[in-house]
């Protein structure tokens, strides 16, 4: 056993559990590739200022949860707590928005870091798949992204999730709502930290999960009652497109999510089987974020889906993923000459796309067959001295027990055909 352990609030991914995570990642990104989203990858750390400006200086993410460090050169860096600001920064730096083909559609996958109180479904290191559509103020994009996430979850077999939907207005109509909400909140019995938040970003108070706060918010004014006509029409179009696509959603007038950059559409995917950490993913429109980080006006929309939370949701529903076989053929050599012959056969099978493995270390037949069964292989390929003399190998079906002699020269085409 090692002297060291994984840091508190983190986890290691190892077989067999890691196979589920890989399958979830593939399922979440597959619809994005079909919809024209290209892959983006950004550094694991960025300038602290990128997140302070983009995510919001009053958010818990920036004030309490970011892992920060100072380099030897004096630069202030932070491990990325979310993906949108980094991807937008990368797209602006590469001038993708100037290529004349807007929107720029990108997807990404990676690990993110927040210093939070560890609990089931909430870690200090977590994995996400994200998608961003940059440079178009079009409700069709908002609906497209929600539908792509919905369809990805469905493809995994997930059924008991709900989509919460809201509009947060824009720079035209939100100021009046902000003032009305501040007036309401100032009359409540709140602690000093929450009162300070009222003056910086009162919408964040609506996202406070404490029951003592939520009870007092029962009569709070709602953004939907203050939307301008343009925001109403935009939101109604998103709703209409979702309904036409057969995607059910719930209107949630209090949904604001945890980041300051959202405008207009905001949404969340929740799964009631996860307890208090019910969100498995979410996102929204962020039409002013580009300007906040020094770029041009670039209206955009995106989401991030939690790989960890999605795996937990699947397990809560008892969904077993159909995983590709890690090993389809397991080769069992008896003797040095057989080992060399089967190593060549295994190499050739792998090159033909067959998942093949070999009993290493000179195991006995009994121990090698135990390894074959543990591998989950459907076939065992056996080769001993007598077989070598006869120029054949024995192909054994591990389900039925049936065994067939196969000429050594025909192992690769014969076994490949069997597996397929």
Number of neighbours of residue 373 by Cβ within 10 angstroms: 11
Strand partners, 306: 128
Both tokens of 291, joined, read: 């300007």
Strand partners, 162: 270
Q: Any residues with CB less than 8 A from the CB of 58 and at least 6 apart, and which?
A: 197, 200, 201, 204, 260
- Residue 261, marked binder: yes
**Strand ranges in 153-236 using DSSP code E only, listed in sequence order:** 161-167
- Residue 59, marked binder: no
What span, in angstroms and rounded, lies between the C-alpha atoms of 397 and 110? 40
* Best CA proximity match to 169, nearest among 111, 223, 96, 216: 223
What span, in angstroms and rounded, lies between the C-alpha atoms of 168 and 54? 17
Our CA angle for 398, 404, 409, nearest 5°, is: 115
Strand partners, 109: 129
Question: 308 exposed, middle or buried (CB, 10 Å; 0-12, 13-18, 19+)?
Answer: buried
| DSSP code per residue over 211-224 | HHHHHHTTT---GG
CA 275 to chain centre: 19
- Measured over the CA atoms of residue 134, residue 139, residue 144 and residue 149, the dihedral's sign is positive
- Residue 211, marked binder: no
Pairing of strands 329-333, 250-251: unpaired
Strand partners, 406: 393
Pairing of strands 263-271, 161-167: antiparallel
Q: What are phi and psi of 395, to 5 degrees?
A: -100, 115
- Residue 257, marked binder: yes
- Residue 34, marked binder: no
What span, in angstroms and rounded, lies between the C-alpha atoms of 309 and 306? 5
Binding residues: 82-84, 114, 128, 132, 257, 261-262
Binding residues for L-histidine: 82-84, 114, 128, 132, 257, 261-262
């Amino acid at each position: 056993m090692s002297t060291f352990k994984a840091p508190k609030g983190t986890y290691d991914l190892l077989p067999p559990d890691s196979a589920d995570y890989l399958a979830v990642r593939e399922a979440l990104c597959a619809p994005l590739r079909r919809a024209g989203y290209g892959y983006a990858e950004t550094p694991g750390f960025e300038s602290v200022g990128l997140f302070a400006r983009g995510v919001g200086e009053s958010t818990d993410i920036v004030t309490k949860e970011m892992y920060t460090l100072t380099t030897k050169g004096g630069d202030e860096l932070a491990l990325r707590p979310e993906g949108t600001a980094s991807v937008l920064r990368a797209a602006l730096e590469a001038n993708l928005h100037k290529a004349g083909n807007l929107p720029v559609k990108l997807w990404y996958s990676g690990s993110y870091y927040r210093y939070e109180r560890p609990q089931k479904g909430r870690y200090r290191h977590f994995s996400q798949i994200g998608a961003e559509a940059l440079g178009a103020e079009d409700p069709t994009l908002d609906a497209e992204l929600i539908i792509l996430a919905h369809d990805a979850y469905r493809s995994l077999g997930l059924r008991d999730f709900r989509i919460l939907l809201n509009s947060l207005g824009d720079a035209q109509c939100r100021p009046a709502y902000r003032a009305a909400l501040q007036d309401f909140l100032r009359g409540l019995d709140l602690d000093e930290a929450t009162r300070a938040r009222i003056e910086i970003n009162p919408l964040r108070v609506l996202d406070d999960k404490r029951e003592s706060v939520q009870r007092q918010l029962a009569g709070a004014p709602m953004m939907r009652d203050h939307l301008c006509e343009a925001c109403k029409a935009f939101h109604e179009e998103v709703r209409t497109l979702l309904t036409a696509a057969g995607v059910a959603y719930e209107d949630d007038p209090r949904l604001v999510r945890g980041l300051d950059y959202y405008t207009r559409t905001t949404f969340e995917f929740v799964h009631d089987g996860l307890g208090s950490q019910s969100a498995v993913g979410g996102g929204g429109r962020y039409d002013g974020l580009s300007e906040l980080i020094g770029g041009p006006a670039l209206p955009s929309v995106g989401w991030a889906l939690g790989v960890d939370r999605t795996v937990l949701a699947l397990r809560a529903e008892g969904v077993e993923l159909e995983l590709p076989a890690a090993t389809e053929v397991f080769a069992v050599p008896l003797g040095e000459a057989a080992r060399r012959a089967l190593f060549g056969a295994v190499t050739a099978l792998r090159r033909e796309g067959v998942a093949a493995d070999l009993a290493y270390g000179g195991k006995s037949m009994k121990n090698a067959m135990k390894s074959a069964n543990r591998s989950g292989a459907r076939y065992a390929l056996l080769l001993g001295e007598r077989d070598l003399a006869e120029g054949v190998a024995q192909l054994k079906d591990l389900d039925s027990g049936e065994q067939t002699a196969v000429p050594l020269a025909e192992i690769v085409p014969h076994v490949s055909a069997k597996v397929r």
